[in-house]
Amino acid sequence: MLRSIPSPTSSALEIGPLTIHYYALCIITGIAVAIWLGDKRFRAVAPQALSVVSEVAITAAPIGIIGGRIYHVISSPDSYFGKEGNPLDAFKIWQGGLGIWGAIALGTFGAWLRYRMLAKKIELPSFAYFMDALAPGVLLAQGIGRFGNWFNIELFGRPLQGPWALEVPLVNRPHGFTEFSTFHPTFLYEAIWSTVLAFLLIKFGTSFRPGQVFALYVFGYCIGRIPIEMIRIDQAHLILGARLNVWVGIIVATGALIIFRRLNKESGDTLR
């Protein structure tokens, strides 16, 4: 019987001079799934939009990764610019550290810019339809990407005894928790929540106005992320006793709910 979830013994695959980091592989796999599902959903709305999702992804994906890394570095400056930090480590994305808030914000901006360029060449529906089509796939990508944290043995939660607890080697345990061996697998919690939310949006998303599915994605993700964030024990800035990402989640969720309600009052497609 499984007593705990074991941690991987390796975070990379070495093939001759080539090193493939599992964290990067999880990110790439997630992006591929998001493109596939997003293309399938968007072409159901705009059959003429051949390769639009993949063309937008070429711009949005790397910009989103950069945005996620910038947010992570800004929100965890001591790891890179503190006494024991190395600024060059900020470029080592394969070691983990992508802030979802920065990834979604900058990735959405990059997608909007590229989508506007394509809309000048072919007739496309509003950007709201496009983002609604992408939302479930992006959630699945986030869920897949979280397994990269498992391979890196990072971002786990408080000590836990149970068959679903994550076994963490001594070298990876944070200061003050070295006497514990198993912890909350927060990567798994978030992966499960993202997957469940994605299927809910697919099943019930057809009854909403343009833009509302994406707003629900943002709101729903935040609602699940906030309690998960509260049990994490990795280093983070605190504001009034709560982790920075908890406050960001509350603010973003509130904004998404306001946008959802505003769109519910509007008639027709007004988000070109």
User: What are the extents of the domains in the chain?
Assistant: 23-265
Of the pLDDT bands very low, low, confident and very high (cuts 50, 70, 90), residue 2 is low
Separation of alpha carbons 106 and 111, rounded Å: 9
Tokens of 214: 């994406």
Q: Which of 66-75, 113-122, 155-164 has the lowest mean pLDDT?
A: 66-75
Interval 22-49 mean pLDDT: 93
- The count of other CB atoms within 10 Å of the CB of residue 49 is 23
Separation of alpha carbons 157 and 72, rounded Å: 18
pLDDT of 95 reads 66
pLDDT above 70 (res 117): yes
Burial readout 227-256 (b: 16 or more C-beta within 10 A, e: otherwise) = ebbeebbeeeeeeeebbbbbbbbeebbeeb
Q: What are residue 5's DSSP bridge partners? A: 166
- The count of other CB atoms within 10 Å of the CB of residue 51 is 11
Pairing of strands 18-21, 12-15: antiparallel
Interval 55-79 mean pLDDT: 85
- Mean confidence (pLDDT) of the chain: 89
Q: What are residue 20's DSSP bridge partners? A: 13
Ramachandran bin of 248, using left for φ above 0, alpha for ψ from -120 to 50, beta for the remaining angles: alpha
pLDDT of 260 reads 94
Nearest to 109 by CA among 61, 159, 171: 61
- Give 173's DSSP letter: S
pLDDT above 60 (res 270): no
pLDDT of 101 reads 82
Q: How many CA atoms lie within 13 A of 125 on its CB side?
A: 19
pLDDT of 271 reads 35
pLDDT above 90 (res 220): yes
Tokens of 171: 């070298």
- Phi and psi angles of residue 161, each rounded to the nearest 5 degrees, phi first: -110, 120
SS3 call for 157: strand
Nearest to 33 by CA among 127, 129, 142, 186: 142
pLDDT above 90 (res 79): no
SS3 call for 232: strand
Of the pLDDT bands very low, low, confident and very high (cuts 50, 70, 90), residue 266 is low
pLDDT of 14 reads 84
pLDDT above 80 (res 202): yes
Helices assigned H by DSSP within the chain: 22-45, 52-75, 78-81, 100-119, 127-152, 186-204, 212-230, 244-265
pLDDT of 238 reads 86
Pairing of strands 182-183, 238-239: unpaired
**Contacts (Cβ under 8 Å, ≥6 apart) of 264:** 209, 212
pLDDT of 1 reads 46
Nearest to 46 by CA among 132, 125, 134: 125
* pLDDT tens-digit series, residues 10-19: 888 888 888 8
pLDDT of 269 reads 45
What is the value of pTM for the model shown?
0.87
* Percent of the chain surpassing pLDDT 70: 94
